[in-house]
Amino acid sequence: MTEVYLSLVIGVLYAAGLYLMMCRNIAKFIIGLGLIGHGANLLIFTAAGLSTQRAPIVPEGVTIPVVPIVDPLPQALILTAIVIGFGLTAFVLALFLSAHEVEGTDDLEKMRSTDQ
């Protein structure tokens, strides 16, 4: 039942993120990008399966972990995605600040006039 609730939360995060990314304001675009990143992290977490099994730590004197254990790969993927998401957000914020200094606005429609 928990997977159903997490699926609904993922859907809401994706929908809100896409809605904000289609707005004309760059700040809303950045927030929407973050929401989609968090939705992707939850999607990986949910797709891996929720379990309350043991951590994959090998006890002393044993050559393999005692089963049942939790798969550590999704957690490593999510940790990597979080770091990449922070880097992407910092890069987009730097672009936003430089574009705001040049154009003096955060409206994407007004910034398109510079394309011509």
Place of tokens 């550590």: 72
Amino acid type, 72: P
The CATH number of whichever domain residue 89 belongs to comes to 1.10.287.3510
| Domain enclosing residue 31, as ranges | 2-50+72-115
CA distance 26 to 93: 9
Over residues 65-87, the pLDDT tens digits come to 878 888 888 889 999 999 999 99
Over residues 16-62, the pLDDT tens digits come to 999 999 988 888 999 999 999 999 999 998 988 877 778 778 888 88
Predicted model pTM: 0.79
Q: Is residue 59 part of a domain?
A: no
Specify the number of domains making up the chain: 1
Q: Is residue 58 part of a domain?
A: no
Which residues does 72 contact at the CB level (< 8 Å), separation at least 6?
56
Q: Is residue 14 part of a domain?
A: yes
